[in-house]
């Protein structure tokens, strides 16, 4: 009865990986209602809060790089949710700004968090603990 360090059920990373994908999948029906993918949804969250961000800082917020964000933002621009324009102060930077249409979407989105939370059957304390541990892990070696 050895403790096998390579057994799937003895890993911490695996439930993290699987849980993340399953939870994102659970969002799909709600996000379909407002025409967003999960990645677009979290990008909109940043924009609902900040109104304008450059790609770099959006990427830092979402832990995504320009390889992911550039096509995502072009599609969101085509959907009329954001505008993209170069910074005048620094032409290297692309400023992404929320449009009126993007602002209006927030009204339709605001019921989603509560409906999702209801899916998860964690109580408030458990959710808080999970949140804290995930952010602690996320901040590990932020330098990478």
Partner DNA sequence: TATAATTAAATTGTTTTCAATTTAAATGAT
Partner DNA sequence: ATCATTTAAATTGAAAACAATTTAATTATA
Whether 53 contacts 47, CB under 8 Å: yes
Q: Coil, strand or helix: which one is 64?
A: coil
**Residue 40 neighbours by CB distance under 10 Å:** 19
Q: Which x/- pattern over 94-123 shows residues binding a copy of itself (rule: CB under 8 A)? A: ------------x--xx-xxx-xx-xxxx-
Compute how many residues bind a copy of itself; rule: CB under 8 A.
58
Segment 69-98, which members bind a copy of itself (CB under 8 A)?
Answer: none
- Read out DSSP for 3-26? --TT-GGG-SHHHHHHHHHHHHHH
Residues in the site for a copy of itself, rule: CB under 8 A? 4-8, 10-27, 38, 42, 45-46, 48-49, 61-63, 106, 109-110, 112-114, 116-117, 119-122, 126-127, 129-131, 133-138, 140-141, 144
């Amino acid at each position: 009865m050895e403790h096998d360090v390579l057994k799937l059920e003895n890993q911490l990373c695996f439930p993290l990986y699987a849980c993340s994908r399953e939870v994102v999948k659970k969002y799909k029906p709600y996000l379909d209602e407002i025409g967003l993918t999960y990645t677009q949804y979290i990008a909109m969250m940043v924009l609902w809060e900040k109104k304008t961000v450059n790609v770099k800082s959006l990427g830092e917020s979402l832990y995504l790089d320009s390889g992911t964000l550039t096509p995502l933002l072009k599609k969101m621009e085509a959907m009329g949710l954001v505008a993209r324009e170069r910074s005048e102060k620094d032409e290297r930077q692309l400023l992404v700004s929320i449009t009126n249409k993007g602002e209006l979407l927030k009204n339709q989105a605001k019921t989603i968090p509560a409906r999702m939370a209801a899916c998860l059957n964690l109580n408030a304390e458990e959710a808080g603990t999970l949140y804290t541990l995930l952010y602690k892990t996320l901040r590990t070696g932020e330098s990478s």
